[in-house]
Amino acid sequence: MRPLNFSFTLRCFVFAFLSFASGMAAAQTVSIGVLNQHHDPEEDAFWSKTAQYLSHNIPGYNFTIKLMGPECLNQAIEKQQLSFVITNPANIVALQKSEDARPIATLQTRYQTQVSSYLGAVLIARADRNKLKRLSDLKNQSVMAVSPSEFDGYQIIERELLLAGLSPEKDFFEMLFTNGSQKNIVKAIVNDEADIGIVRSGILENMIADKELKPGKIKIIHSQDTPNYLPLHSSSMLYPNWSMVKLNHTDIALARQVAITLKGMPKHESTLDYDPFYGWTQAADLTTVNGLLQALKLPPYAPSKEVSLKQILKEHESVTLLVLTFILVLTFFTVRLSRVNRKLAASQSELAKHRDNLEQEVIERTKELSSVNKTLEQDIIARETIEETLRRSRSALQGFYEITVNPELTQHEKLTALIKLARNHFAMDAAFLYKIPPQEVESNHHKLDLCVADGNTEMEDDILANLPQHFDKNESGEIKCVKNEQDNKCYISLYVMVENTPHCLLAFVGNSKLNPNIAQVDQELLRLLSQWIGSSIERQAIEDEREKYRSQLGKVTRLFTVGEIASGLAHEINQPLTASINYISGSLRRLDEHSDTTVKTGLERSLGSLNQASQIIRRMRDFVQMGIHREETFDLVRLIKRVLDLLEIESGQQSISLQSVGTDRPVLVKGDQVQIEQVILNLVRNAIEATQLQDVNPYTKRVVTVSLAITGGQVEVSVADNGPGIEDSEIEHIFDAFHSTKPDGMGLGLAICRSIIETHNSRLDARNTEQGAEFIFRLPHVTTSYETSKRKT
């Protein structure tokens, strides 16, 4: 069997040697092995960048990075499959003893403006652990580190503990090794999963720069004064950083060229305070590393065990017997070597086939593992996204609650603060709240009234340009989120419902990379904001109705007071009017004896006016006290002519013409003649005053027209002018008591007129025409026997 084994081994060696030689001759590929115990994308990217820079600046060579674990790296070095190695200082010292390796460049880090090629380790604890200050306080505590073989962590701190007289095996309550990321150790300390953590210097600063750790959560134990290393913290003395190492078989000229090129490699530029991969510098001295390995009795300074042949035979007696038996069997079967050699070719062919199959299975298995890892990474990212969304939503709900219950804020201030909170929550640039007029909802137009704006209000044009999509496609209550690829902006919009009708439109716009599929919890937050706005609007409407009711109640009270005053005035004024009537009646009797017709005519007219005034005051007193009017039949045409004759002088002074239409024959109506006369007199006088306000135009004649029209058993009375008309904001309130557009008006004339017309079971209305304003009311028409017979004919 010995010739078989030797031949097979020789052929494998020759095959490996020829493969290696052919590879060296075929391409100028330079392999750089990197000790990679934990997957770090930022670290892997820097190694790849280093290889690309060397390939670009050293012609004729193609540098490649191979990430390996400790065992794979040592095997590759032994087989001379690598030209350079990037590893930690402890591994470099071991390579110097075994492979005559030599460092040619050392890695640099940067924190703020401080650049260093050294590293240290820190002992960390939660900031609220006040009793943990010195190394002596670590006794009976649980300590967490990555691995006992990790140099830039546990081994550096182990030497500090040794100098302080502490033993991890004896003095610690528990020693935990995670074999994972050092950042996970920091998170475990924050979560109180261990008392003490051991990590490399710079990890805390890196996590704070990446916003993975809040400042003040972690404190440093046994902090050292390292002036050349500040502001980074360290709990130990400093040691050289990782270095690139030239192996014994590497070409010296190539190694020198690589060292020079690495020193000239541009430094990495980063906006963060801490950059662990800043660049390369000249190789550092490893004396301190040798001292650490000697103190800890680690390779290559670990004590060797003495081995004797007797001990080997004693410990491996069965193996030794088996070997002797195997030698005898090999000797016996030497004569059969020729037969076995004939089968060797077939065996080698099968072996090659199995090897190829094995390689294929390894490749397929690697692909499967990569797919599983990718799926796990996606699941982790999804979970982290959900957690972040929940955290942000919880913070937003807390802010929502604090704003709504704050008694110091007005309703409008709360609304503005809530919209700002929602805008910041979704990282949008601007937010707008529009009121939708009722006619706009029905006609599907897009004329909106801006109520509240927050943020960059200049983006309102973008909102108005994209809101038609909301009106065309949105349903009540639906949250619409769109990303416009043309302007690269995101838009969120939803209705605010009041009494199941769209009342307002809330819209957001921004340059954020927002996912159009808003999370369910964020949708609920938007709906909550919409419901609060709707409830606020309903509450405000109720308050407005209450205020209007209180205002109307005050007006009624004042009108009642005026009625009482008018009743008293009517009583007081009626007495001197009665006396005047008596005096004029006596004078007329005396004038009858002397026959002075001119004076008699004047006195008769004065007596008629005084009787009319006395009758008006008596009717007003009856109306104010009892709210009733007299029912009689009278000629409305004669009443209108009497009113126009009365106001002819007043209108003539203002160059205003008084005209009547439909008064060519008598028109009988039923009602209180005195009260109707007062209504027409007040309306015509108001028309005259309104016509005075019209701009004077030599081609336009100012006219006030009183018209009569008989329709359906009623007589329609119209008083119209060609003045400026009634403003839209005033037309709804002109009949309100104490509401007047005149500077010296009391606001009672039109209110009393409407009250009189309403007691006649009619209504006094006002409207604007093309010429000016018009007031209209109707009275029951009384037909004569002639009109009745004519209608029948």
CATH of the domain at 28: 3.40.190.180
Q: Output the pLDDT for position 670.
A: 92
Q: Output the pLDDT for position 793.
A: 44
Assign 673 to helix, strand or coil: helix
**Top mean-pLDDT range of 35-44, 52-61, 571-580, 697-706:** 52-61
Q: Which amino acid is at 96?
A: Q
Which tokens sit at 746?
């009391």
% pLDDT > 70, the chain:
78
The DSSP result for 514-552, as a single string, is --SS--HHHHHHHHHHHHHHHHHHHHHHHHHHHHHHHHH
Residue 788 sits in the same domain as residue 648 = yes
Residue 104 sits in the same domain as residue 153 = no
- pLDDT higher than threshold 60 for residue 336: yes
Which tokens sit at 118?
């050294």
Rounded CA-CA distance 656/693 in Å is 12
Task: Give domain status of residue 615, yes or no.
Answer: no
| Residues 47/242, Cβ–Cβ less than 8 Å | no
Q: What is the DSSP letter of 151?
A: I
Task: Give domain status of residue 588, yes or no.
Answer: no
pLDDT band at residue 217 using 50, 70 and 90 as cut-offs: very high
The number of folded domains in the chain is 5
pLDDT in tens, 595-611: 566 566 656 656 666 66
| Residues 262/280, Cβ–Cβ less than 8 Å | yes
| For residues 294-316, average pLDDT | 71
End of a domain among 518, 541, 574?
518
Residue 754 sits in the same domain as residue 637 = yes
Residue 262 sits in the same domain as residue 341 = no
Q: Output the pLDDT for position 695.
A: 65
Residue 106 sits in the same domain as residue 123 = no
Rounded CA-CA distance 138/132 in Å is 7
| For residues 490-511, average pLDDT | 84
Residue 180 sits in the same domain as residue 258 = no
Q: Which amino acid is at 611?
A: N
Task: Give domain status of residue 738, yes or no.
Answer: yes
Instruction: CATH number of the domain at 481, please.
Output: 3.30.450.240
| Residues 258/302, Cβ–Cβ less than 8 Å | no
Q: Average pLDDT over the chain, rounded to whole?
A: 80
End of a domain among 258, 273, 304?
304
Rounded CA-CA distance 144/4 in Å is 53
Task: Give domain status of residue 276, yes or no.
Answer: yes
Residue 133 sits in the same domain as residue 170 = yes
pLDDT band at residue 569 using 50, 70 and 90 as cut-offs: low
Full domain range(s) for residue 368: 315-390
Residue 637 sits in the same domain as residue 674 = yes
Which tokens sit at 193?
């999963």
Task: Give domain status of residue 3, yes or no.
Answer: no
Residue 673 sits in the same domain as residue 765 = yes
pLDDT band at residue 352 using 50, 70 and 90 as cut-offs: confident
451 compared with 53, residue with greater pLDDT: 53
How far is it between the farthest Cα atoms of the chain? 187
Instruction: CATH number of the domain at 139, please.
Output: 3.40.190.10
Q: Output the pLDDT for position 6.
A: 45
pLDDT in tens, 449-464: 888 888 888 888 877 7
End of a domain among 518, 543, 572?
518
Instruction: CATH number of the domain at 669, please.
Output: 3.30.565.10
Task: Give domain status of residue 249, yes or no.
Answer: yes
Question: Who contacts 159 (Cβ-Cβ below 8 Å, separation ≥6)?
Answer: 236, 292, 295, 296
Q: Output the pLDDT for position 598.
A: 57
Q: Is 562 exposed, middle or buried (0-12, 13-18, 19+ CB in 10 A)?
A: middle
| For residues 347-368, average pLDDT | 85
Residue 140 sits in the same domain as residue 64 = no
Of how many residues is the chain composed?
793
Residue 366 sits in the same domain as residue 462 = no
To the question of pTM greater than 0.95 for the whole model, the response is no
Assign 446 to helix, strand or coil: coil
> Could you tell me which of 513, 505, 501 has the C-alpha nearest to residue 529?
505
Task: Give domain status of residue 702, yes or no.
Answer: yes
Residue 665 sits in the same domain as residue 748 = yes
Q: Output the pLDDT for position 590.
A: 67
Task: Give domain status of residue 99, yes or no.
Answer: yes
Rounded CA-CA distance 397/433 in Å is 20
Pick left, alpha or beta for residue 668 (phi over 0 → left; psi -120 to 50 → alpha; otherwise beta). beta
- pLDDT higher than threshold 60 for residue 299: yes
